[in-house]
Amino acid sequence: MNKKIIIFCFSIFFLACNKEEFLFNNPSSKETGLVFENTIKPSDELNILDYLYYYNGGGVALGDINNDGLLDIFLSANQEKNKLFINKGNLQFEDISLKANISGNSSWNTGAVMGDVNGDGLLDIYVCAVVGVHGFYGNNELYINNGDETFTESAEKYKLDFDSYSSSAAFLDFDLDGDLDIYLLNHAIHTQESYGKASLRYKRNEQTGDKLLRNDGDSFTDVSETAGIFGGINGYGLAISIADFNQDGFPDIYVGNDFHEDDYYYINNGNGTFSDQLKNYFGHTTRFSMGNDVTDINHDGLPDIISLDMLPEDELVLKTSDGDDNIQNQKLRTQKFGYHYQFTRNMLYVNQQNSPFLETALLSGVAATDWSWSSLFADFDQDGEQDLFISNGIPKRPNDLDFIKFISNDQIQKKLNNTKLVDKEALQLMPSGKVRNYVFKGTKNLEFEDKSDRWISNKKGVSGATALGDLDNDGDIDLVVSNINEEVSLYVNQTNDKSNYLRLKFDYPLPNAFGIGTKVYSYHQGELQFKELYTVRGFQSSSEPVIHFGYGSVQQVDSIKVVWPNMTYQTLKNISVNQQITISPEKTKPFNYESLIKKSSKLFEKVSNNLGINFLHKEDNYTDFNRQKLIPYQTSDRGPAVAIGDLNMDGKEDIYFGGSKFNPAKVFLQKDSLYVEEKIQIIANDSINEDVVALIADFNNDNKNDLLVGTGGADFYDKMKPLLDAYFIQTDTGFTKEQFPKYYENASVIEAYDYDNDGDLDVFIGNNVVSGDFGDIPNSYILQNNEGSFSLLENQPFQNIGMITDAIWDDYNSDGFTDLILVGEWMSPKFYKNTMGSFVEESVIDSKLKGLWQQIIPFDIDKDGDVDYLLGNWGKNSKFKATEEHPLRMYYADFDNNGSTETILCNYKNGSYYPLLGLDELASQIVSLRKKFTTYKSMAGKSINEIFEKSILNKATIFEVHTLASGYLENENNRFEFMPFINELQVSPISSFLEYDFDFDGKKEILVSGNYFGVTPYHGRFDSFPGALIVSRDSIVLGNKLGLEFNQKAVKKLNIIKILDKPYVLATINNDKAQVYKLTH
């Protein structure tokens, strides 16, 4: 008996241990009856070489077609017939395809979506096709639901029988006339070899162009031309999402276009037309745009967007795949051809309500999910946060570098020449692109946790179109995933009753019975969850027409506001969780969309005439990466200098702006009510200099202000004259250039203080980089002022201190002596105690705090009476990864012994350090690597220690960064602890802090600016930080709510200028016009 018990226990134990406790189970098709495979058989006549979207897969549409309360499944395939499965309950599905008459007559199908096309309250099915090439025949087909589990193909009747190159279609009522219109998403099929101008999109092509089809009752009319919808020859439309992005009651559209056509962001003008506003709201988009989806990830009632691309995470794949453009080609594409910035990674856009979106995919941890097709937001674990599922994979990787450069040639060459066809065998040489799908758990602060290992199976496959719905009626969200050459997968959510939910269906007047376009605002315990009902999401599929919310352990929802498509609304109160309710319009009131616009007091108002300060900084054409190919970022674009001070001694403050190479510096003198540019010849003379920093002050105590200019630009090197800083003294007759110590450096900061207490201003000059030798540490200097004449200190305390970016004179230890604090890149903030005229470094920070520090300013952020220090850093929204245990590393050495140095940046991943760049980039500088690694595969997956010999690495200097977060040093009895800022301030590098009482409440605040573009396309562009106002640690407001227009601007410096006793904010911007803001309070 005992033995039996023991065996019994063992079995339970065994079973329990082996049972994969994933959030989603995958029952087999045998168990469910859902037998369907999108089988693709490449042949010599048709394969990926002939048709570029050969691997895009089919479609999935979920809907209750027979109104029995169970969600049914429609599947389309490329070469197979369509299938319709009825849900019999208990996850049992029955194939009713024959009876239903939906098998289809087109030879190549793509997306499948469900919607009530004829407005009778029953879900119809629209199936897209590619027709007219490669022998594909047929057309898009429309299956009108007869209500008895049969359908009648009626595409021609409704004028929806297009024979073009269709990907998918979306339903929306764009003219708010009550019926559902259709946006048909088409794609081009030719390979665009030359970029071609962006204006190609204005020339309509019926096969490749998207179409907006207005529902006219019994048929649809193509209104694309009048509606302003592009239908060009270069549109590779692969994904579409509908949402009211600007919350004005009219649905808008986001279209993801593959290759170099930009994505489209169509804002509905409310009069039957749309305007593409992409460049106004997005600083950059995905490059090879595939799936996209919309939801509110941060509980502010605004729809956010994710767009997918193909950036791998796995080192083996990453380092064998073709990467991003180089920076010169990016300039070509954007400046010459008119395209917008595009980068190869996923993008997550956080809606800022009528201000440009924040882009945070890297910060949020969702940027790299390999060749990704469908992205779908839903609260899978029902904890109240939106989670994210991403399907991915491709049968063969056509962008594998070994295949492209080495393997392909031998096989393909012969065949191409002889037969103009490509051998199947040649295709076999491409590596497999089977990968596991991804799922991310949403959290409160814009970050997602990768739960792929815990929530779903890690089986590798090629998954594409995906749809969401509750298939087993247990309340939680399940998934149906279409695969290539494999059975369709069912992901059955096991959350069940562990967490609470609510499902909302709508019973809206015909012809929009399902209430497409309805908005729902759910409030519980002060928390808002917002959703809009659009079923076409992700990629080539449509999900169930139900709104689903998760509530964790909360039992009752305080209120739910339903805003109907006709701009009326009603509120439900005290709704119990764990049920599905059907809501129909009842006692509705008109909804005022204006009420959604959060009225924030705009502290700043742009002055239209800029107060006469029409300064335009123009960067020169120098690209650091041309000279040093591997450096992490540029240092030549840190200007222009700006200094405020009275230059003509008339009691009014004037402005000095530095110029870039060959552009002269400019001076604006304050006149009666405006500033007027004045040419001060001697200052404009040195136009070859790149003026990066400047200071106006009276250095020789003659009551006339002088000017000190620090030069840089990282272009001049060695002992070139333009690297000498300049010192101009003002005399009765104007300015003269004075003697100044000769040191040849790239300046970054000048801060003046009479540190030796002898009555005249001494100066600290911080230098940032050694031109042409990134990694070599420049010297920074204290210049001692002797009655107006500067000299270098005998014993320079700041030789080789670091790559300095900012400095302040401040008494950090409250001992009455003003000390010096330095910050810079690849170093920790350094505190130098002023001990009666000499400087001693003091360690006041306990943790390791090396960063890419850009700015420092003293400020009591926690309002506890002592001074903290705000630190601007690189931000967490980049491909760099840094933690205290696993810092970001930069190896610096002459790796190939040829007299010039290189820098190799490495991230820590899974136990080792890997170079960020691949073989092509590294070998372009270190040619010996081409000998060592004759294939990309041989270097992929190798850590830095496996790539370079120990002897070489041993002679390298290793720079580290422990944190990339901007934040503040909290003062605790003159010891400092670093506290990072909220994620909204980590979106870009921070470039400037400005302290002032902006709202005139008697207390000072800090205005923050940032953004930076001096990186390669690999890193993207840090362009979406809108600035921020820090009132205190817990009170931070983003600049876009305050009237600032910093989006897509690399704001270099913020200053207060005063004219006619009124203060203004002057924002000096790199390579752009300066901006002037009035303080409205």
Partner 1 sequence: MKQFKKSLTITAILLVLFSCKENSEPIEITPDHFHTAIDKVVDVMIHDIFSPPVASRVFVYPNIAAYEILAQNDSSYYSLENQIKHFGAIPSPDRSKSINYPLAAIIAHIDLSKQLIFSETKIENHRDSLYNIWEATNPIEFKASKDYGLKVASYISGWMNKDNYAQTRTMSKFSVDSEDEGRWQPTPPSYMDGLEPHWNKIRSFVIDSAAQFKPVPPPKFSMNKNSDFYKELVEVYEISKEITKKGDTSEEIAIAQFWDCNPYVSVTRGHLMFAVKKITPGAHWIGITKIAAKNDKADFNRTVFAYTKTSIAIADAFISCWDEKYRSNLVRPETLINTYFDDEWKPILQTPPFPEYTSGHSVVSGAASIVLTSIFGDNFSFADDTEIPFGLPIRNYKSFKHAADEAAISRMYGGIHYRAAVEVGVGQGRKIGELVTDKLTMVKK
Query: Which residues are registered as beta bridge partners of 285?
Result: 342
Q: Which of 916, 920, 914 is nearest to 935 (CA)?
A: 920
Query: Which residues are registered as beta bridge partners of 869?
Result: 858, 969
- Measured from the CB atom, is 445 or 898 closer to partner 1? 898
Touching partner 1, residues 658-717 (CB under 8 A): none
| Residue 281 CB partners (closer than 8 Å, separation 6+) | 265, 356, 357
- Measured from the CB atom, is 587 or 931 closer to partner 1? 931
Q: Give the residue, chosen from 4, 41, 931, 950, that forms a contact with partner 1 under the rule CB under 8 A.
A: 931
Q: Give the residue, chosen from 4, 90, 193, 420, that forms a contact with partner 1 under the rule CB under 8 A.
A: 193
- Measured from the CB atom, is 410 or 884 closer to partner 1? 410
Locate tokens 């107006």: which residue?
Answer: 788
**Interface segment toward partner 1; rule CB under 8 A; list 49-57, 273-281, 585-593, 1018-1026:** 49-57
- Measured from the CB atom, is 56 or 76 closer to partner 1? 56
Smallest gap from Cβ 923 to partner 1, in A, equals 9
Q: Which CA distances in Å does 925 have to 330, 775, 776, 897?
A: 21, 15, 17, 12
| Residue 910 CB partners (closer than 8 Å, separation 6+) | none
- Measured from the CB atom, is 434 or 503 closer to partner 1? 434
Dihedral (CA of 420, 423, 426, 431) sign: positive
Touching partner 1, residues 620-639 (CB under 8 A): 621-623, 625-627, 629
Distance CA 257, CA 272 (A): 23
For position 403 contacting partner 1 by CB under 8 A, the verdict is yes
Q: Give the residue, chosen from 22, 36, 53, 455, that forms a contact with partner 1 under the rule CB under 8 A.
A: 53
Q: Give the residue, chosen from 197, 679, 721, 955, that forms a contact with partner 1 under the rule CB under 8 A.
A: 197
**Interface segment toward partner 1; rule CB under 8 A; list 608-616, 617-625, 801-809, 824-832:** 617-625
Locate tokens 């059907």: which residue?
Answer: 582
Smallest gap from Cβ 191 to partner 1, in A, equals 5
- Measured from the CB atom, is 206 or 322 closer to partner 1? 322
Q: Give the residue, chosen from 67, 152, 280, 329, that forms a contact with partner 1 under the rule CB under 8 A.
A: 329
Beta strands of 584-705 (E only): which ranges?
A: 589-590, 604-606, 642-645, 654-657, 666-670, 675-678, 690-697
For position 791 contacting partner 1 by CB under 8 A, the verdict is no
Smallest gap from Cβ 619 to partner 1, in A, equals 13
For position 420 contacting partner 1 by CB under 8 A, the verdict is no
Smallest gap from Cβ 62 to partner 1, in A, equals 29
Tell me the number of residues near partner 1 by CB under 8 A. Answer: 54
Distance CA 1011, CA 990 (A): 7
- Measured from the CB atom, is 397 or 1041 closer to partner 1? 397
Smallest gap from Cβ 746 to partner 1, in A, equals 17
Q: Which two tokens stand for residue 164?
A: 């073009």
Smallest gap from Cβ 899 to partner 1, in A, equals 6
Maximum CA extent, the chain? 112
- Measured from the CB atom, is 336 or 460 closer to partner 1? 336
Dihedral (CA of 173, 177, 179, 183) sign: negative
User: Nearest 5°: phi and psi at 652?
Assistant: -115, 140
- Measured from the CB atom, is 194 or 951 closer to partner 1? 194
Q: Which two tokens stand for residue 185?
A: 């998403």
> Contact at 8 Å (CB) between 367 and 346?
yes
**Interface segment toward partner 1; rule CB under 8 A; list 69-77, 155-163, 194-202, 338-346:** 194-202
For position 618 contacting partner 1 by CB under 8 A, the verdict is no
Find the helix or strand (DSSP H, E) in which 638 lies: none
Q: Give the residue, chosen from 46, 278, 416, 953, that forms a contact with partner 1 under the rule CB under 8 A.
A: 416
Q: Give the residue, chosen from 33, 37, 44, 52, that forms a contact with partner 1 under the rule CB under 8 A.
A: 52
Smallest gap from Cβ 1023 to partner 1, in A, equals 21
Q: Give the residue, chosen from 39, 219, 226, 898, that forms a contact with partner 1 under the rule CB under 8 A.
A: 898
Q: Give the residue, chosen from 33, 103, 178, 195, that forms a contact with partner 1 under the rule CB under 8 A.
A: 195
- Measured from the CB atom, is 295 or 746 closer to partner 1? 746
Residue 324 DSSP class: P
For position 46 contacting partner 1 by CB under 8 A, the verdict is no
Q: Which two tokens stand for residue 146?
A: 């007869």
> Contact at 8 Å (CB) between 571 and 528?
no
- Measured from the CB atom, is 193 or 1061 closer to partner 1? 193
**Cis bond upstream, residue 829 (ω within 30):** no
- Measured from the CB atom, is 79 or 413 closer to partner 1? 413
Residues 268-297: x/- map of binding to partner 1 (CB under 8 A)?
--------------------x---------
For position 610 contacting partner 1 by CB under 8 A, the verdict is no
For position 572 contacting partner 1 by CB under 8 A, the verdict is no
**Interface segment toward partner 1; rule CB under 8 A; list 204-212, 584-592, 732-740, 921-929:** 921-929
Smallest gap from Cβ 945 to partner 1, in A, equals 22
Smallest gap from Cβ 952 to partner 1, in A, equals 15
Touching partner 1, residues 934-973 (CB under 8 A): 934
Smallest gap from Cβ 373 to partner 1, in A, equals 13
H runs (alpha helix) in 903-1050: 919-925, 928-932, 936-939, 944-947, 950-954
Locate tokens 């992005």: which residue?
Answer: 245
**Interface segment toward partner 1; rule CB under 8 A; list 191-199, 951-959, 974-982, 1040-1048:** 191-199
Q: Give the residue, chosen from 413, 799, 800, 945, that forms a contact with partner 1 under the rule CB under 8 A.
A: 413
**Interface segment toward partner 1; rule CB under 8 A; list 86-94, 327-335, 773-781, 956-964:** 327-335
- The 10 Å CB-count burial string (b at 16+, else e) for 362-393 is bbbbbbbbbbbbbbbbbbbbbbbbbbbbbbbb
| Residue 705 CB partners (closer than 8 Å, separation 6+) | 645, 646, 647, 649, 696, 697, 698, 730
Q: Which CA distances in Å does 181 have to 118, 219, 220, 236, 564?
A: 10, 10, 8, 22, 17
| Residue 497 CB partners (closer than 8 Å, separation 6+) | 474, 475, 578
> Contact at 8 Å (CB) between 744 and 719?
yes
For position 1071 contacting partner 1 by CB under 8 A, the verdict is no
Locate tokens 């040829």: which residue?
Answer: 898
Distance CA 894, CA 906 (A): 17
Q: Give the residue, chosen from 37, 50, 313, 754, that forms a contact with partner 1 under the rule CB under 8 A.
A: 50
- Measured from the CB atom, is 36 or 236 closer to partner 1? 236
Contacts 24+ apart (CB under 8 A), 1002-1009: 1003/1031, 1004/859, 1005/1029, 1005/1030, 1005/1031, 1006/857, 1006/859, 1006/861, 1006/870, 1006/1030, 1007/1039, 1007/1054, 1007/1065, 1008/872, 1008/1039, 1009/1039, 1009/1046, 1009/1051, 1009/1053, 1009/1054, 1009/1067
Burial (CB count <10 Å: 0-12, 13-18, 19+), residue 1032: middle
Q: Give the residue, chosen from 42, 59, 398, 640, that forms a contact with partner 1 under the rule CB under 8 A.
A: 398
Beta strands of 430-587 (E only): which ranges?
A: 432-433, 438-442, 448-450, 463-469, 478-483, 489-493, 500-506, 519-524, 527-532, 541-542, 547-552, 556-563, 568-576, 580-583
For position 404 contacting partner 1 by CB under 8 A, the verdict is yes
- Measured from the CB atom, is 411 or 473 closer to partner 1? 411
- Measured from the CB atom, is 360 or 463 closer to partner 1? 463
Residue numbers at the binding site for partner 1 (CB under 8 A): 48-53, 191, 193-197, 288, 322, 325-326, 328-329, 331-332, 335-336, 398-399, 403-406, 408-409, 412-414, 416-418, 621-623, 625-627, 629, 896, 898-900, 902, 925-927, 930-931, 934
